[in-house]
Amino acid sequence: MSLAAVVLVVVATVSIGTFGLRLSRTTSDFYVASRTVSPLWNASAIGGEYLSAASFLGIAGLILAYGADMLWLPVGWTGGYLVLLVLVSAPLRRSGAYTLPDFAEARLESMRVRRAASVLVVLIGWFYLMPQFQSAGLVLRTLTGAPVWAGGLLVAVVVVVNVLSGGMRSITFVQAFQYWLKLTALAVPVIFLLLAWRGDGMPGITDQQWLVPLAGTREHPVYATYSVILATFLGTMGLPHVLVRFYTNPDGRAARRTTLVVLGLLGAFYLLPALYGALGRIYAPDLLVSGHGDAVVLTLPERVVGGALGDLLGALVTGGAFAAFLSTSSGLTVSVAGVIAQDILHGGVRSFRVATVLAVAMPLMLATMARALPVADVVGLAFAVAASTFCPLLVLGIWWRRLTDAGALAGLLVSGGLACTAVMWTIVSGPLRGWPGVLLAQPAAWTVPIAFGVMVVVSLLTPGRVPAGVARTMVRLHAPETLDVDRGDWHPRGGA
Amino acid sequence: MNDDDTPPAVEPTAPPGERSESSDAEGPRAYPHPEEPSKRDEPPSGARQSNRVLVTSPRTRAATRPRHPGTREIDEQTGLGEVYMRSLIRSQLRLALSVCVAVTGVIGGLPALFLLAPGLGDLRLLGVPLPWLLLAVLIYPLFVVCAWWYVRQAERVEQDFAELVDHR
């Protein structure tokens, strides 16, 4: 039954994707859906793309394991959009950039900063894709007993086929569909779970350590909490697949309104994982012993509701999980491939195709090599890298005229290097004990201040390198579109 | 860009004033050659009649030059244009930072609160421990309300700016 749901989601995704095929022809269609997407579609698409395996499966798993402290993850993943809304949404849309490297080039007029940004986009994308493939492997293994790499490979192939056949246009529709599918797939079963729980006489949770914040079993919970908050609130704006979505808004004002809708959609979704985590604590504490916390969402319906209905609900959540793998992976793949195609290959539709395969192959390999960490933890690391590189680049670039190319480059290299090292260490060789372990597993609290500090100090030391066109760029970023002013003649590369 | 369809010469102009003068005085600072051969620097009234050239002394021209909309000040990056842009950016930044400060207060304050007053964790409302009620439920509508307020304010700032600059 669950396997049938997986097949259904895959077929639906591919067919909706191919349906959009005839609509996408030119290069700019391929990348950004020709900017003809309406705000609600766009917000649903942002939500659909954003809610990954980490949100769908991972949060509930971590809450099951560690309790109240983990509630900060979904809070931060939503709150990140609030910070994004107030600090970057409208100016970013007005910049006209498709990708983060585009923004870096437009603002700082430097190819070197552009290239550094490209490398970081690819790295963040890979760190984010890897856990998606790993979770797909785990889910398919629990369903069929297939080897762990099989699920990742399945997701990778579907994503490549889908991206290559439809490009961004179809992806927008696929993503919007995926949001509502994911919401339904968590919301419907939870109703039956709560009914069954009431039928049981509403058993409570007595474990105080689990219920109360900062009392859990993780080391240095106060530092870890603040570091997670920093990484998630500031990292969202720096994720490669988020910016492309903003380009599909017609103007800066629409970008703001879309973000507002996104906040509502995400808030609605994130009410659910905590319920799964808490119910899991009551009904499936054994998952912790076996180390399969990430499977709690998939396990509960069968275990608590049971019977044919339990099977059906189980199939629904499994389908939703695959929707999560496919949607996030597609969005990331489009973004990473776009950057590889434009900045490493020579651009155009053919390069985009080659780049798509490259974008997926590397994290697929990583997924088979790396240790199995909780999916939400690994995604959190991608946020930490984004927060310590693109967040300062965007915030300073938009609001501070005196940012120079040298300052931006130094900040990206120093803090991006530190954050990536911490992430690789955690993924490959595993957490250390004590302070070093916590600092490496939650690097944002020290790498974000370093990033801002380096960018500001180096910029102040190189005042002669302030870009010549900064005044015009500021007009472009901040003047509302209703005004007829000269916004400069910069255009993103690869655009029509 | 649309200099062709709105000749500044016939425009009813805004308050008499020091503005245009001061901007002309400061112009060279940002843009050393205001007479460079770009379209918008053509003499205002003779834009279309290609063979006729208005010959005046620079002083006379500065004095009789009609006050043009702020969009042109911005395009020519005059001192006044810079002032316009800086004021827009400053008010948008102030708005954004006020939201950020509020969010930082609430979000940054909660863990500190839980740390300093561990007893809060035992409080229950409707059977749900207070931290769970706050973090798993109430904070999401709070985000949406903040965002809604911000979007309204930001659009108002932009509208005010457009009216200030684009007075026609």
pLDDT tens digits, A84-112:
999 999 999 999 888 899 999 999 999 99
pLDDT at A413: 96
Where are the strands (E) in A205-340, listed by range?
A: none
pLDDT at residue number B96 = 95
**Which B positions 31-70 lie with beta carbon below 8 A of chain A?**
none
Contact A478 B144 (CB under 8 A): no
Residues B96 and B161 in one domain: yes
Is A85 close to B107, i.e. CB distance below 8 A?
no
Contact B85 A475 (CB under 8 A): yes
Are B32 and B102 members of one domain? no
CA distance B55 to chain A (A): 28
Please report the pLDDT score of residue A146 as a whole number. Answer: 84
Whether B108 and B70 map to the same domain: the answer is no
The C-alpha angle A273, A274, A280, rounded to 5 degrees, equals 90
For residue A200, pLDDT over 70 is answered with yes
Is residue B69 domain-shared with residue B104, that is, in the same domain? no
Average pLDDT for residues A314-323, to the nearest whole number? 90
B15 pLDDT exceeds 50? no
B105 lies in the same domain as B73: no
B141 has a pLDDT exceeding 80? yes
Q: Is B154 on the interface with A (CB under 8 A)?
A: yes
Q: Of B82, B107, B136, which residue sits at a domain end?
A: B82
Residue A229, chain B, CB below 8 Å: the answer is yes
- Put simply, the answer to whether B121 touches A475 (Cβ < 8 Å) is no
Position with higher pLDDT, A218 vs A357: A357
Flag whether residue A260 sits within 8 Å of chain B, measured between CB atoms: yes
d(CA A451, CA B122): 39
Last residue of a domain, one of B82, B114, B147: B82
Closest Cα to residue A487, out of A478, A495, A376?
Answer: A478
Q: Is A206 on the interface with B (CB under 8 A)?
A: no
Nearest CA in chain A to B135: A71
Cβ contacts of B80 within 8 Å, gap of 6 or more: B19, B20, B22, B23, B26, B70, B73
Q: What is the pLDDT of residue A435?
A: 87
Could you give the CA distance from residue A302 to residue A320 in angstroms, rounded to a whole number?
A: 15
Region for residue B115 given its phi and psi (left: phi exceeds 0; alpha: psi -120 to 50; beta: otherwise):
alpha
- Domain check: are B28 and B70 in the same one? yes
Q: Is the pLDDT of residue A32 over 80?
A: no
Among the residues of chain B, which ranges form H helices? 18-30, 58-64, 70-75, 79-116, 130-132, 139-165
Q: In terms of domains, do B95 and B32 share one?
A: no
Q: Do B104 and B133 lie in a common domain?
A: yes
Q: What is the pLDDT of residue B70?
A: 75
Q: Tens digits of per-residue pLDDT, B36-85?
A: 444 444 444 444 445 676 666 555 544 444 456 777 777 877 888 888 88
Number of domains in chain B: 2
Are both B99 and B153 inside the same structural domain?
Answer: yes
Contacts of A263 in chain B (CB under 8 A): 143-144, 147
- Architecture of the CATH domain A2-372: Up-down Bundle (1.20)
- C-alpha to C-alpha distances, A15 to A19, A148, A267, A321, A332, nearest whole angstrom: 6, 26, 29, 18, 20
- Do B93 and B133 have their domain in common? yes
**Residue-wise pLDDT tens digits, A224-269:** 999 999 999 999 999 988 877 787 788 889 899 999 999 999 999 9
In this prediction, residues A350-363 reach a mean pLDDT of: 90
Residues B99, B72 within the same domain:
no
3-state DSSP assignment of residue A176: helix
**Cβ-based burial of A325 (10 A; exposed 0-12, middle 13-18, buried ≥19):** buried
Q: Looking at the structure, do residues B77 and B17 belong to the same domain, yes or no?
A: yes
3-state DSSP of A66-81 = HHHHHHHHHHHHHHHH
Instruction: Assess contact for B89 and B83: CB atoms under 8 A.
Output: no
Cβ contacts of A48 within 8 Å, gap of 6 or more: A174, A175, A176, A177, A178, A179, A180, A181, A182, A323, A327
Q: What's A23's DSSP letter?
A: G
Chain-chain contact of B143 with A79 (C-beta, under 8 angstroms): yes
- Decide the pairing of beta strands B124-125 and B128-129: antiparallel
What would the pLDDT profile of A368-408 be if each residue is shown by its tens digit?
887 778 888 888 899 999 999 999 999 999 999 999 999 99
Chain A residues within an 8 Å CB radius of B2: 484
Q: Considering chain A, what is the average pLDDT of its residues?
A: 87
Residue that is last in its domain, among B82, B116, B140: B82
**Residues A372, A431: contact at Cβ < 8 Å?**
no
Domain of B21, in residue numbers: 2-82
